[in-house]
Amino acid sequence: MSVPMSNGKTVLITGINGYIASVLGLHLLSKGYSLRGTTRRASSAKPLLKGPYAPYSDRVKIYEVADMTIDGAFDDAAKDVDGIFHTASPISFSLTDFSHFIIPAIRGSEVILNSALKAGPQLSSVVITSSAAAIYDANKPSPYTFTEADFASFALDRAEADKEKGLVTPPGILYSASKTAADRAVWRWRDEHKPKFSLSTINPSVVIGPPVYLPSSGSQLNETLKPLFDIFSGNSKTVGPSIGSGGFVDVRDVAYLHVWAYEHPNEADGERFCAVQGYGPLQAAADILRAKYKGTSIGEKIPVGEPGKGYQGYDEKTGRIGVLEYPEGNLRVSGVKAEKVTGLKYIDLETSVLDTTKVLEELL
């Protein structure tokens, strides 16, 4: 593999050891960028440095940021950079408390943006990894198609109401609420500070696609890859329900959109981009995997579920999927704007699922 020369630009990615961030980082390195990455513990970046980032070691620097909610936490890492990608979120699905889940997400956004103000005049763009959860509202009457013009409120309203009543909010609701609150904080900050640099958000739905490095076991995969792995490995004997709207996007497309937003600051400034290829329920993933691995030891372990149920496009005779569509009347999130504005051609579900499981085979 030939390593491209430096293009003279340096960018920062927060939470570099995360799933989206690590793929984004490799994409940027392959384009000649020098990369700074932050992690809570510097040691957590070692698998990246010894693995996919090894050929670019002279262009990678890791900064340890133990608490990203402290004022100035990113000042050193952000100083003199040309671009910032904020992918980190100081939350854990093990938390069920409003103050430990939502408030830190807001603070994390504010802290990185305040550091961006001090980064220097060369900073052209800040791109925030938000979520379709900040756009999608589960209580919206259907049918309805959400776009970048929509701002979610259901999850945050529920979490705030639970807080007032002293009730425990389910982690999934808290996650959506935290993404909603952080997204709002970004745009509120922009209105207040009117920065000279471009500021935009990428709002992906459920993200799958091949990771650039793997944990030691499938149980350590992130929240979007683990359900797919559990089906693929046979760890799950049933096919679970869709997450949120059931929309999905490939991680490589998410990386592309981040880089596009950075490299096109004038077009991206003040914009949100929903990153959604289309409908990607787990049942469709199971159907794709059974067809691919039919007659193999892997295929025998993949749960059957209810083939074709919950989506359009399944051929009962062949067991294969044609053009996969949302069920009629479902709530959905549109990713059309990102395609039209950036020229992106989304990776389809079958390609994404099979490319992902090809990498995950190492964990079987």
CATH topology of domain 10-363: Rossmann fold (3.40.50)
Q: What is the pLDDT along the chain (364 residues), one digit of tens a residue?
A: 688 899 999 999 999 999 999 999 999 999 999 999 999 999 999 999 999 999 999 999 999 999 999 999 999 999 999 999 999 986 565 556 777 788 889 999 999 999 999 999 999 999 999 999 999 998 999 999 999 999 999 999 999 999 999 998 888 888 899 999 999 999 999 999 999 999 999 999 999 999 999 999 999 999 999 999 999 999 999 999 887 789 999 999 999 999 999 999 999 999 999 999 999 999 999 999 999 999 999 999 999 999 999 999 898 888 888 878 888 889 999 999 999 999 999 999 999 999 999 999 999 9
- Name residues whose C-beta falls within 8 Å of residue 186's C-beta, 6 or more positions apart in sequence: 109, 113, 128, 130, 199, 201
Strand pairing partners for 146? Answer: 333
Q: pTM of the full predicted structure?
A: 0.96
**C-alpha dihedral sign at 50, 54, 58, 62:** negative
Take residue 99 and report the two structure tokens written for it.
């103050």
Strand pairing partners for 204? Answer: 275
**Cα–Cα distance list, 271 to 39, 143, 149 (Å):** 27, 25, 10
